[in-house]
Chains A and B, each alone.
Chain A
Amino acid sequence: MGKFIAILTSGTIFGFGLALSGMTNAEKVLGFLDVAGNWDPSLLLVLGGAVGVTLISFRFVLRRPTPLLEPVFVLPTKKHIDTPLIAGAVLFGIGWGISGYCPGPAIAQLAAPNWETWVFIPTFLLGALLNRVTTQQPTLQTTS
């Protein structure tokens, strides 16, 4: 029970941050990605703020032998920069640049859903499913 309260707390803080930062606003995201328009640099501060925290905090967290409430850290095991990584990032970037949504903000936007939410989330899941049935590969493995 305690570990699910912890997960809910992490998710709630994360989701609050997504909404506060403006990431759930596709128009604002595109105002950053469209560098030839009336450029809005806000998202640099979102990413900078978030990475600024994790760059410091993850040092201390990953120095621990285990997480506080679970027996193991579940971390990505892939180390090589390969074609699926690059191709996936290109396709994701194109989809992000078209829609203005990446997965986190799109799901957080279920807090105040509109027609865009109901188009994006099902098609996002369908796209992920299409990849899974064509190339089944585990992305995360348990490490101790």
Chain B
Amino acid sequence: MSDFTPISALAGGLLIGTGATLLLWLNGRIAGVSNIASGLLSWKRGDALWRVVFLGGLIIGAYTCNRIIGTAPVARAGFPPALLAAGGLLVGYGTSLGSGCTSGHGVCGLGRLSPRSLVATIVFLIAGIATATIVRQVFGIH
């Protein structure tokens, strides 16, 4: 059950790149969401507000898009909550240890031609592909 949506995927990707460009050009910051979010865990004066504002923008942008296209993703009925919690822990721990996620390493790091980000992106794509394929094809969990 997966539909190829090339136009919205490409348009969305261009917008993601544009948002990252504006943040770097105007405010000098890397649009790496894992670092922006986890930076709130060590609440430093003067460092929190911009993070909250950016993350709020993510939510406003997604809300606006959902309203325009008239749909929002729905939860998977049979997906095990414990597995999702394990996924969340691994994503949080891994992005903190590896200093970035899909946006920080993938979108911004590759844009900066960072060798670290290129390696990280290749590694998390391979790990993600292997894991998703095993979880769905071997264990039949959707």
Contacts and interface: CB of A to CB of B under 8 A. Distances in A.
A10 B58 CA distance: 8
Given A24-B62, A49-B10, A61 B21 contact: yes
Interface in A87-106: 87-104, 106
Interface in B1-25: 1-6, 8-25
Size category of the binding interface on chain B: 35 or more
Contacts of B99: 76, 78, 84-85, 88, 139
A95 B86 contact: yes
Contacts of A73: 24, 28
Contacts of A64: 25
Interface on chain B toward A: helix, strand, loop, or mixed SS?
helix
Contacts of B42: 132
B15 A13 contact: yes
B128 A93 contact: yes
A99 B84 contact: yes
Size category of the binding interface on chain A: 35 or more
Nearest to A25: B73
A111 B72 contact: yes
- Of A13, A19, A67, the most chain B CB neighbours within 10 A belong to A19
A74 B61 contact: no
Given A13-B15, A31-B2, A101-B91, A61 B24 contact: yes
Contact of A98 (B11, B12, B50, B83): B83
Interface of B: 1-6, 8-31, 33-35, 37-38, 41-42, 49-50, 53-66, 69, 72-76, 79, 81, 83-103, 105-116, 119-121, 123-133, 135-137, 142
Given A3-B27, A8-B54, A97-B132, 14 more contacts: A6-B22, A11-B57, A11-B61, A24-B73, A33-B133, A38-B2, A46-B9, A52-B17, A89-B124, A93-B126, A103-B34, A104-B58, A127-B88, A127-B94
Given A20-B65, A47-B106, A58-B111, A116 B84 contact: yes
A24 B53 CA distance: 19
26 contacts: A6-B27, A8-B57, A10-B26, A10-B27, A11-B56, A17-B16, A20-B15, A21-B12, A31-B1, A33-B131, A37-B133, A50-B107, A53-B21, A54-B21, A62-B24, A76-B100, A81-B116, A87-B94, A92-B98, A93-B126, A99-B88, A111-B61, A112-B66, A119-B88, A124-B91, A128-B92
